[in-house]
Amino acid sequence: MTTSSEQQNLMKKHGITCETKYIYKYKSYRYDDLQQAVNFAIFDQQQIQSSKK
């Protein structure tokens, strides 16, 4: 396993960059896109409400 410093040196040497990626979670589901997470949460909550009727 390389150290963080070694990893940074390797990245710099080879022109590799790193970016933060947001992961949106709803219950046990994971989404790259916020709107997909919201859409499923709304759908899921509607299903829960209609099953209570």
Residue 2 maps to a domain: no
Residue 14 maps to a domain: no
User: For the chain, what percent of residues have pLDDT higher than 70?
Assistant: 98
pLDDT in tens, 18-29: 999 999 999 999
pLDDT at 3 over 90: no
Residue 5 maps to a domain: no
- Total of domains in the chain: 1
Residue 33 maps to a domain: yes
Q: Could you tell me the pLDDT band of residue 1, with boundaries at 50, 70 and 90?
A: low
Q: Taking Cα atoms as reference points, which of 36, 39, 10 lies closest to residue 1?
A: 10
pLDDT at 53 over 70: yes
Q: Taking Cα atoms as reference points, which of 40, 5, 7 lies closest to residue 24?
A: 40
Q: Domain range holding 28?
A: 19-53
The vertex-51 CA angle with 48 and 53, nearest 5°, equals 120
